[in-house]
Amino acid sequence: MTNSTIPTVVLSPFFCEGNEEGKKKARKMLSQGCSEYGVFQVVNHGVPLGLLSRAMDTSKTFFAYPAEEKHKISPDPVALFPAGYNYSRDKLKEDFFMCSPTTTYNVFPSDPPEFRNVMEELFANFSNLGQLVEGILNDCLGLPPNFLKNYNHDRDADLLAVFKYLPATKVGDLGNAPHRDASSITLLFQDEVGGLEFQKNGEWLPVTPTEGAIVVNVGDVIQVLTNNKIMSATHRVVSPKGRTRLSLAYNYNLGGNTWVEPLSQFTQESGPKYRRYLQKEYVALRLKQKAHPPSRNEDRISIDYYAISAQDFGCSSLALENDERVQVLTNKKIMSGIHRVVSPKGRNRLSFVYSYNLEGNTWVEPLSQFTQGTGPKYRGYLQKDYVALRLKQKAHPPSRNEDRITVDYYAISALE
């Protein structure tokens, strides 16, 4: 395995007036990190090193508690997001998640007593760093001043996680399988143990820990906005042998109600490479898959799910069991018929089925004449996106029938 040194961006020039040469150099290094690797590290970043040290220490203390004590703050199985303590099924990782302090999802342990204050202070500092990096990236991309700041202004969607990776039980154990982040950018502070690797040209390269440095990797949002000019970093964690590994990760996310699509300035030569999507729907797909992971890693949903292929210029069709589009258009005035076939005893059965389908690029949502009394009962969706979900599920069906995706996937609940 090649040992590659990712670019280091010195951010101290941005905390004072002047020093345009230092800022210019920082932009150059950040641009290189994004375009060549999808990952870089920042130093002199404004996050107090003492705070990072306290966050690591209090996390070690919490994770050392007995399991029954930690599970007191485990998330409810039906929670919208797994805020609190989690333990992986493969027994290679345990973690703590928190959402923005302005939300109501968070749960904190009573011990260590300083845990909550430290994590909330860290959240605020990582948020500030994310905004700084985003602003520099905005300049590197040649976007209008404050474009990304105005586009991605909702910090309530951000997440902070503490990961404890347990020692490997065999060579090649992965504490975190290869993946790309759904965020705009991700900030990561790791201990001296190492284990973080990113992929470049098909080869896995280690990110050697640097004292005081914070690793930044580009997420899917930036990849789509730039139409693949900057690629989301594929990364993984190799479980350390004989040692535990601790890291702090901050997902600088995009608000769920924000539409994501390639910006026009990046589509003039090749056209858009992704379909438009709503961020919360992509995140929902990722969370559902996390709860019920596919057996093969290549079946995991990534941003490529929205990639435009040659087939997207044709029609999509699928013999659906229910005529669900009528149910959506009429806002449940007409319900899709649920039906089944009982196999005949001792005889074969033959039938012909014709599906009068909707063209894949058609937008489906309740018609206004059916929403005046109750409001819409479904979110709008692109027919081919729904068909793709059904086809993917048909190839790899869930173990429980209640987990099958139907048009209720787009139903609007009271929580929304």
Same domain, 240 and 336: no
- Using alpha carbons only, give the angle 185, 292, 204 rounded to the nearest 5 degrees: 45
Residue 113 forms part of a structural domain: yes
Reference 101, options 130, 118, 123, 76; nearest CA is 123
Position 68, amino acid: E
Residue 222 forms part of a structural domain: yes
Distance, in Å, from the CA atom of 214 to the CA atom of 235, rounded to the nearest integer, reads 15
CATH code where residue 228 lies: 2.60.120.330
Same domain, 277 and 323: no
Same domain, 336 and 273: no
- The pLDDT of residue 226 is 97
Same domain, 12 and 29: yes
Same domain, 275 and 201: yes
- The pLDDT of residue 412 is 86
Which residue segment(s) compose the domain that 404 sits in? 315-341+349-410
Q: Exposure of 340 by Cβ count < 10 A (0-12 exposed, 13-18 middle, 19+ buried)?
A: exposed
Q: How many domains does the chain have?
A: 2
- The pLDDT of residue 400 is 67
For residue 180, CA distances in Å to 9, 97, 192, 372 come to: 22, 18, 23, 42
Task: Please count the CA atoms within 13 angstroms of the CA of 294 that sit on its side-chain side.
Answer: 15
- The pLDDT of residue 145 is 96
Q: At 15, list the tokens.
A: 């905390």
Same domain, 79 and 191: yes
Per-residue pLDDT 10s for the chain (416 aa) are 444 579 999 999 999 988 999 999 999 999 999 999 999 999 999 999 999 999 999 999 999 999 999 999 998 777 777 899 998 766 678 999 999 999 889 999 999 999 999 999 999 999 999 999 999 999 999 999 999 999 999 999 999 999 999 887 766 566 677 889 999 999 999 999 988 999 988 889 999 999 999 999 999 999 999 999 999 999 898 887 888 999 999 999 999 999 999 999 999 988 999 999 999 999 988 887 766 666 666 667 889 889 987 445 443 444 444 478 888 888 888 887 676 676 665 566 667 677 778 888 899 988 888 888 888 888 888 888 888 888 887 777 776 666 678 888 888 875 55
Q: At 127, list the tokens.
A: 């948020």
Same domain, 252 and 382: no
CA 216, chain centre distance (Å): 15
Residue 3 forms part of a structural domain: no
Same domain, 112 and 181: yes
Looking at residue 366, what DSSP letter applies?
-
DSSP letters, 2-18, are ---PPPEEE-GGGGSS-
Same domain, 295 and 320: no
Residue 416 forms part of a structural domain: no
Same domain, 111 and 201: yes
